[in-house]
Amino acid sequence: MKTIKGPAIFLAQFMDDVEPFNNLKSICEWAAGLGYKAVQLPSWDDRIMDLEKAGTSKDYCDELKGIVTEAGLEISELSTHLQGQLVAVHPAYDVMFDAFAPEKLHGNYNGRTEWAKQQVKYAATASKHLGINVMASFSGALAWPFMYPWPQRPAGLVERAFAELASRWMPVLDHCKEEGVEVCYEIHPGEDLHDGITFEMFLEATNNHDSVKMLYDPSHYILQQLDYLQHIDFYHEYIRMFHVKDAEFNPTGKAGVYGGYQGWTDRPGRFRSPGDGQIDFGAVFSKLSQYGYDGWAVLEWECCIKSSQQGAEEGAPFIDAHIINVTEKAFDDFAGGEVDEATNRRILGID
C-alpha cells in the first residue's frame, strides 16, 4: 500500500481576470495560503501558461516550475480537458465547442481537430519537461448523441465511432508513450468514455495502448447511478489521477437521471462541495489506499450552491483529513513469530 499525496487543487474553476486569480504567481500564493501542497494547471489558460512554449522549451517549463515552487507548491499535473474534447466532436455540438478553440479555427472542423491533437502533444512534452508522468484529458465524443437513441442505433454505429475515436487518438498516444506520459481520461457524461464499459471499448480500440489510463472522479458516477466504489475494484490498475468532487442524486416524481433540462440547482443530480453531497469519501480514500494509489488527491470545485472561496477554504482540510498514512506492518505482528517449517508441519499434523 502507498499513501495518497495531497491536498492539491485544480485551478481551472478559480481563474479570473482579477487578483489573485489572474496569474500563476498570485493564484499559487492564494492556494498555498489555504493549505494546498500542489496545483493542477489548466493548460489552455494563457493567464497560467503558454502551452506551445511549454511544449517546446524546457527552460520555460523550469520558469513555470520555479514560480510554483517559490509559492511553496508543486505542479501535480497538467489538464488538457478542453483540447481533448476537441479531438472528437459530433456535428451536433460543433458550434458550441468552437468556443474552446482559437477564433481563427471557428467553423473549421478539420483544422480545429488537428490543432487539438497538437495541443495535447505539447502538453505531454511539457509534462515531461516538468518531471510529471500523467496528465488529464477528455476523450471527446462522436457516439454520445446516440447514447439513449430513438430510433434505435444502426448495427455497427458504436463500433465505428470508437474505431474513429481511436484513430484520432493513436498518434497522440504514441507521442505520449515516447515522452513517458500517460493520458488519464476523465470518465464523464458527454464523453464517449463515460463509464467502465466505454473505457474498456476504447482500450480495445487502441489495442490496450500503454498510455491509456483513467482519472477517477466519483461525482460523475453517482449522477449516473454507477457503483463508484466497485469501479475502483475493477479499474484500480488504470487509475492514475483523482478528483475530489462531491455530488448528490435526489430523484423525484418529476425528474431523474436526465434532469428535465433544469439548471444545476434544480436538477436531481447536482455537484456539491466535498462533504456536502452523498459520496462516501472515507470509503473512496480507503479503497484507493488499499490498491496502492500514490498520486494526488485534487480538489475540483463545482458546487451549485456554495461559493468557490468557501469551497476552496474547506477543501484542503477536508482532503487532508481523509488521507490515510498507510501502515507498514500488520496490526497483529506482535503476536506472530518467525517462519518455522517444522513447527508448521507439526501444527498441521503433516509429520
Q: What's the one-letter identity of residue 275?
A: G
Q: How far apart are CA 219 and CA 216, in angstroms?
A: 9
Residue 322 phi/psi, 5-degree rounding, is -95, -15
Tens digits of residue pLDDT in 14-23 = 999 999 999 9
287-319 residue pLDDT tens: 999 999 999 999 999 999 999 999 999 999 999
pLDDT at 7 over 70: yes
Compute φ and ψ for 222, nearest 5 degrees.
Answer: -65, -30
- Give the pLDDT confidence score for residue 333 in this predicted structure: 64
**pLDDT grade for 343, boundaries at 50, 70 and 90:** confident
Residue 182, class by beta-carbon neighbours within 10 Å (0-12 exposed, 13-18 middle, 19+ buried)? buried
* Separation of alpha carbons 315 and 261, rounded Å: 29
Residue-wise pLDDT tens digits, 246-274: 999 999 999 999 999 999 999 999 999 99
Rounded to whole angstroms, how far apart are CA atoms 186 and 147? 18
- Beta strand spans in the chain (E): 5-10, 38-42, 74-80, 134-137, 182-186, 212-216, 239-244, 246-249, 269-272, 296-299
**Number of C-beta neighbours around residue 204 at 10 A:** 12
* Residue type, position 28, single letter: C
Q: What is the pLDDT of residue 331?
A: 61
Q: What is the pLDDT of residues 24-54, one digit of tens each?
A: 999 999 999 999 999 999 999 999 999 999 9
Question: What's the rounded mean pLDDT across residues 98-106?
Answer: 96
- Residue pLDDT, tens place only, 43-83: 999 999 999 999 999 999 999 999 999 999 999 999 999 99
Q: Tell me the mean pLDDT in the region 146-166.
A: 96
For residues 89 and 40, the answer to whether their CB atoms sit within 8 Å is no
CA proximity to 202, closest of 154, 237, 232, 158:
158
Average pLDDT, the chain: 96
Domains along the chain with CATH numbers: 5-348 (3.20.20.150)
Q: In which element (H, E) is residue 277 found? A: none
Tell which phi-psi region holds residue 152, choosing left (phi > 0), alpha (psi between -120 and 50) or beta. beta
